[in-house]
Amino acid sequence: MTQPLPNIAFLGTGLMGAPMVRRLLGAGYPVTVWNRAAEKARALVAAGAEQAGSPAEAVAKADITFTMLSDGAAVADVLFAQGTAEALRPGSVLIDTSSIAPDVARDHAARLEELGVTQIDCPVSGGTAGAESGTLALMAGGPKETIARIAPVLEPLGRMTHVGPAGAGQVCKLANQQIVAITIGAVAEAMVLVRAGGADPARFRDAIRGGFAESRILELHGARMIARDFTLGGPSRLQLKDLRGVETLANANHLELPLTDTVRAAYEAFVAAGNGDVDHSGLLLHLETLNSVSLLEERS
């Protein structure tokens, strides 16, 4: 006899959460959604989701609950200030796909364990494009047995890797964000250099594709820089939040990370100038301002 699919609650249906919900609905899972801005959750009803009026209501019947929220404070508020943790069913699993500090993730896991709920910290990488296509990289921290049990639910979202105990997923996400930020900075600096030197940025990008400089950042964000399309995908303010998290973790472990320090300072300046909701590939604009140059080109 075929086992029924688990009931899912999904809290946070913004830029990343909404396409993840659509992937779960497409795989046949029953999903109840909640979002602080109710209209964002309402938009998913036509795709088959059920909308709840509160996060506690959303999780009442859930076997598995996802959270995809902006930061640790938002996760703590939804779980513990709004009564959601007490509404979770004992024996259920909470999968926190938000990007939060590792020590906060461990604290939440301990508090939920007291209520009979297992938390898996499972931040993701791949942006809105990965969420829409189901090709996210999912970094899961928590008990091995629980992660094995929930693995089928994560398959529609992308590729999941168990990276260690509670909090380990968040450590790996911070390291991922280091690489993303530094690589965005490297590609943006190269674009400025190429333009200043008299070469064509678009042809430069084409020329180095397939070489040692190839990366998803060059492919996707390099294209954004050339097209000057900084439509919001990954907000710069959240990139900065993650880089500050790297700084905290590095300081706690007495590490010197000079490349990360440099790119964090660049994002600090970019966000302080009012660009917090510009896509993080827009760091190019900060470098252009520093150098008083532009990549604007006449197009035939």
Q: Which residues are catalytic?
A: 173
Q: How far apart are the C-alpha atoms of 33 and 35, rounded to whole Å?
A: 7
31, 10 in Cβ contact below 8 A? yes
SS (H, E, C) 152-174: HHHCCCEEEEEEECCCHHHHHHH
Q: How far apart are the C-alpha atoms of 262 and 50, rounded to whole Å?
A: 45
Cβ-Cβ contacts under 8 Å for 141 (sequence gap 6 or more) = 105, 120, 121, 122, 162, 163, 164, 165, 166, 167, 168, 169, 170, 171, 172
Q: How far apart are the C-alpha atoms of 169 and 101, rounded to whole Å?
A: 10
249, 257 in Cβ contact below 8 A? no
* Residue 30, CB-side half-sphere exposure with 13 Å CA sphere: 10
Name the DSSP letter for residue 2.
P
**Phi and psi of 167, rounded to 5°?**
95, -20
